[in-house]
A and B are shown apart, each in its own frame.
Chain A
């Protein structure tokens, strides 16, 4: 501390100018002052001192002793701890120059070795002719203040070191969003060093939403947080550097408040997620490639079967049956792929499977039931079942007639052990007859429902048409 005007105003001794009396007749109130004070003559001999001065020195030096000049303390040191020679002391300098010295920090060492930091103000004393006759020094103990200051500086430095050591970009702003500090990781990420107190909201050149659209700085997560529009921690965005490179990141802005709860600024952490994005991209490419291979393999099988059938002059409906089965399998794969092989929607699967069979006859079809998510295995098995039932309806059942109709209704019954009930109801076509011989289609339907899906199947061949009742446990 060098400017002490706010701490204590240096007493002026100008009024003592007229007389050298002050050197030998100290004012009576000195001992009542809360500040230490002493006077020296022009040779630096102690003329007087008050109680506070003796308390700080930790001793009561003899007056007028020419062996100890300038100082009443046992030893004086600079702030760096080095002892001061007598001619280096503040009093010696004032007496040498006849100029006042205000706000000087020195360390007083007491006889017991303890040290105090004091703030010193010294004024020269001049006689009527303007000649130097001595000086008055007043000083006070600022040891605790200094220690608190050092502690504050130390903890601030520790905090800075900590933030600097973090591998993620961190910066702070004031309440208006002007940047007050940033770490090296932030400068690295931005590839830019923003001007403190001038750059606002974020140190990046440009910002974009994660979709790629430009995002004005005053609408970035940090700005919205400072405008107290909500919690934007974990928000994804992209920053663009001057060279055009774009870095996707997650922002974690938080408000900073003082003891009274007032917002003093905010701190933001920017986490670079380029690696994660690249990994996601790679995974998508792999999945696309895998789907491409699977679909090309199915298309190849389709071609081989179809051309072999042509060559052997096999009936064309045999080829159609085969193709329909292959397509049903493939389309269900598509649905499962779109949902990451987690689940597939029952209605979408039914629509997909029926589409090639009922092209142009949608009015004859009625689907109704709540949304149901099927597991991959259930979806694939049910898709093949619906394909067989639809192919049969087209060939022998209600869809073989222009007046025929098909209703598929489903519902989930039971909470703890939910069971999916599906009714397949054909009407308006020829009467249904139990097949004389169980073909592949019938066997596929029966085994899928009963064995693979652990369900029950009841195929009723009635006059109005086929009524199939399917029940499968969902868990």
Chain B
């Protein structure tokens, strides 16, 4: 497998909140994060699960799917801002799909490669 991210992975041992409502996609993201040597991955399929996780844990960073079916992920994004937890959005719309409030925030377009995920997250993680 092509591994064009630094070795050892700077994500080694990190904990991640993954908000993604589609199971099959969230399984793949989990796999990608494991390939990047992340330690703990907390999956959440909706807002309430995400808030439940945030009540007990403080992840190192988060990956937020914008469109969660009936919900949008933005309340979690605001909570993460308050907790100073870095995060990126993932969306099928591209950057143009974000509302004005989040314009310019880092976005990764679905689907994406593991290497692209690593490149999107690295700038957010303090060395």
Q: Which residues of A contact B (CB under 8 A)?
A: 288, 291-296, 298-300, 302-304, 306-307, 310, 316-317, 319-320, 323-324, 326-327, 330-331, 334, 337-338, 356, 359-360
Report the contact-size class of chain B (Cβ under 8 Å from the partner): 20 to 34
B86-98 CB mask vs A (1 if < 8 Å, else 0) is 0000011110110
B55 contacts the other chain (Cβ, under 8 Å)?
no
Residues of B within 8 A of A288 (CB): 93, 97
Pairwise interchain contact B4-A359, C-beta atoms closer than 8 A: yes
Q: Check: B115 CB closer than 8 A to any chain A CB.
A: yes
Given contacts A292-B67, A330-B111, contact A303 B92 (CB under 8 A): no
**Residue among B22, B91, B93 with the highest chain A CB neighbour number at 10 A:** B93
Can you sample 19 A-B contacts with CB below 8 Å? A288-B93, A291-B93, A293-B92, A296-B25, A299-B22, A300-B22, A306-B31, A307-B27, A317-B1, A323-B111, A326-B111, A330-B109, A334-B109, A337-B94, A338-B94, A338-B96, A356-B116, A359-B119, A360-B4
Could you tell me if B1 and A320 are in contact, using CB atoms closer than 8 angstroms?
A: yes
A292–B92 CB distance below 8 A: yes
Q: Is the interface of B mostly helix, strand, loop or mixed?
A: mixed
Of A293, A300, A304, most B-chain CB atoms within 10 Å: A300
User: Contact at B113–A356, with CB atoms within 8 Å?
Assistant: yes
The reply to whether the CB of B24 lies closer than 8 angstroms to some CB of chain A is yes
Beyond the given pairs A291-B93, A323-B113, 11 more chain A to chain B contacts, judged by CB atoms under 8 angstroms and listed by A's residue number, are A298-B110, A299-B28, A299-B92, A299-B111, A304-B24, A307-B28, A310-B31, A319-B1, A324-B113, A334-B109, A337-B94
Q: Which 7 A-B pairs have the closest CB atoms?
A: A295-B92, A316-B1, A303-B28, A299-B111, A292-B92, A295-B110, A302-B111
Asked if A320 and B2 make an inter-chain contact with CB atoms under 8 angstroms apart, the answer reads yes
> Which residues of chain B come closer than 8 Å to A310, judged between CB atoms?
31
- With most chain A CB atoms within 10 A of its CB, the pick from B2, B91, B97 is B2
Set A326, A334, A359: member contacting B94, Cβ < 8 A: A334
Which residues on A sit within 8 Å (CB–CB) of B24? 300, 303-304
Chain A minimum-CB-distance residue to B96: A338
Kindly list chain A residues whose C-beta atoms are within 8 Å of the C-beta of B67.
292
CB < 8 Å neighbour of A317 from B2, B92, B113: B2
Assembly CA distance A320 to B115 (angstroms): 11
User: A291, A323, A359: which contacts B92 (Cβ < 8 A)?
Assistant: A291
